[in-house]
Structure 1
C-alpha cells in the first residue's frame, strides 16, 4: 500500500505487531507526540513517554496504557538520569520533542534554547542510550526534523548566536538541520550495531509547538516560501514518524529524510519542500557530531 500526505498514524501501522518492542517518545504528551505514542502502544509496543510535564504525560499514558518518565532535554542532569535509570534493550527512540521560534533564550550553559533542546538534548539522550539500542538487535531512531531546515545550515562559527543577530527562524532552521545531520552520522557510526536513524518532516500541523509564533508571521512565511496550504491533523502529522519507526520497507535503511511517508526529493529553488544538500553532507554531519560531543563535555 502507498501512503501519502493525508495518511494517518493508524493507517501506516495497520497490520504491524510491536509486541515485545519498547519505545521511548520524547514530547509524547502533546501534539503529534501523543498520536505517535498512541499508535505504537495500540500496535503492542511498551511505550514510555519521556516528558518534562509528568502530570500531563501521565494523563495521556493512562489513556493509552503507556508509562511515563521525567525528561527535560534542556537539563543535562535530567538526560543523564534518564539514561542511567534505563534498563534492558530499547527498540525505538522517537526524538519528537521540540521548541519553535521563541525569543532568544539561553540555557544555564549559555546555549541557544532551540539548538539545546532540539539537537543537543536528543543527541545526549541517544548517545546515552546507545547500549540499550545496540542490545535491541535492530533498533531505530526517529529524528523529527522539519522543512524549516531550509531556513539555515549549521553556522559553526556562531551556533549559539553570541555574535550574530538572533532570528528565531534561523535558530529553528539550524536546529532542524542538526536533526537530519544527526541521522546521517548516527547511521554511519552505529549501523554495524544494528541501529538505523532517519529524519522526517511531519507536515504542517497546528499544535502547541507554534505557541511562540504570531499568526501573521505564520501566514507571511507560508506566502513567502510557497508552503503547501494543506494542514494536517495531529494523527496525519504523526504518520511519517510512525512510518519511519515501523515500516518493514525501511529495515536496514538509515541516514535518510522523509516527507509524507516517502523519502524526500532534493530541494528545488522556490519550493518549500525537499531536502537541502547541506543537511545530508557527510563531512558536515561528522563535524556536528564532534562539536556536539565537545559541547556536552
Structure 2
C-alpha cells in the first residue's frame, strides 16, 4: 500500500460508469473484462470502450459475448472489441486464455463470479465458488503478470462483495471437506479472498508498477443471483435488521469497477477496498457496509497467496 490516506472521490452510489470515465482518454490502452457478457461486466466494458480502450470480453458463452460486443460497438463506435473463451472454474481454460494473449495489458477487471450456488466441486475436488471466484482469477492474473508488467502502471480490479463480511478464509477447511457446506459462507470466503488477493498482489507487484484494488459494486439485480430466490433475499434482509436494499442499475453497479480501473485519483494506489466510489471505512457490525479487518490482514493475504500457488501446483 503506497499510502495510508483514505481515498475519496467526487462520485457516490448514484454515479454511473459513464460519469466516472468522462474526460478520460484510454486510446491505446488494452483491457480484459471477465464475465463481460452479462450484468455489470457489460457496462464496465462499455465504459472502457467508450473512452477508447481496446476491450476483450473474456466469457463462458461466446455467442452472448459476440452479441454484447456488437452492442458495445453500436453504442460507442469502438470496433476494437474482442471476445475470447474463458471458464474460470476450468484451469485448462484459464491457461489457454493466458497462452493466447499477446502484447501488453493495461487493465484487468476480474469481474466474473458465481454466487451462493448449491454445493459443487471441480474435477480437482475444489469447492466451486472458491475455485471460480478466487483460484480462477488468481491463475489468470498471475499468468498475465508479464503482460501487465509490460504495460507500465497497469491496474487489476478485483470485484468483491459485502458478503466478504460473512467469512474470512477458513484455511483449515477452505473446500468444505470437514464442515457442512453453506452457500453464503462459501461465497463470503471467496469474496474475502478477492480482497486479500488485492492486498498481496499490490505488495508483490509494486516494482512492476502494477496496482490491485478490490471493490463492492453494490446490489444489482443480474444473472449472478440466479441461485438466490426472493425468499432467500427476504431472509437475508431480516438477518440484517430489515434494512431496505438500495438497488443500483448495472450502469451504477459498474461505476466503482471503472473508478478502480481508470481514475487518476487511484494512480499508484493499491491494496484498497472500495464501495460506492469511495475507499470503504472499517465495518462496524451489525451494518453491512465497510471492510472487515480479516479481508485486509497482510498475514492472511500472504498465506492465501502461498496456498493458492500450492493448490494450483498440486
Normalised TM-score (structure 1): 0.99
- Distance in 1 between the 2:213 and 2:165 partners? 17
Query: Hey, what does 2:294 align to over in structure 1?
Result: 278
Cα-to-partner distance string for 1:228-286 (whole Å, 9 max, x where unaligned): 52100000000000011110010000000000000000000110010000100000000
Aligned to 1:53: 61
Matched, 1:243 2:243: no
**C-alpha distance in structure 2 between counterparts of 1:187 and 1:228, whole Å:** 35
In 2, the alpha carbon distance for the partners of 1:51 and 1:184 equals 26
Total equivalences in the alignment: 297
Gaps of 5+ in 1: none
- Match of 2:133? 118
Output the CA distance in 2 between the equivalents of 1:80 and 1:137: 23
**Distance between the aligned counterparts of 1:114 and 1:251, measured in 2?**
31
Partners of 2:207 and 2:310 in 1: how far apart? 24
Residue 128 (structure 1) aligns with: 143
Distance in 2 between the 1:43 and 1:24 partners? 14
Structure-1 separation of matches of 2:157 and 2:269: 12
In 2: Cα distance, 1:33 partner to 1:2 partner: 23
Backbone CA RMSD of aligned residues: 0.8
2:72 alignment counterpart: 64
Structure 1 residue 204 and structure 2 residue 219: aligned?
yes
Please state if 1:294 is matched with 2:310: yes
Q: 1:96 aligns with which of 108, 111, 114?
A: 111
> 1:143 is paired with a residue of what secondary structure?
strand
Distance in 2 between the 1:85 and 1:113 partners? 25
SS across alignment from 1:212: coil
Aligned equivalents of 1:220 and 1:184: distance in 2? 32
Residue number in structure 2 paired with 1:14: 22
Deviations 1:62-100 (A, max 9, x none): 121311001010111110111011110000000000000
1:232 aligned partner: 248
CA distance in 1: counterparts of 2:215 and 2:197, whole angstroms: 12
Query: What does 1:30-41 correspond to in 2, within 5 Å?
Result: 30-41=38-49
Deviation string, structure 1 residues 154-212 (Cα, Å, up to 9, x no partner): 00000000010000000000000000000000000001100000000000110001100
1:5 aligns with 2:13: yes
Residue 34 of structure 2: aligned partner: 26
Unaligned 5+ runs, structure 2: 1-8, 74-80
**Could you say which residue in structure 2 is the equivalent of 1:141?**
156
Equivalent residue, structure 2, for 1:258: 274
Q: TM-score, normalised by structure 2?
A: 0.93
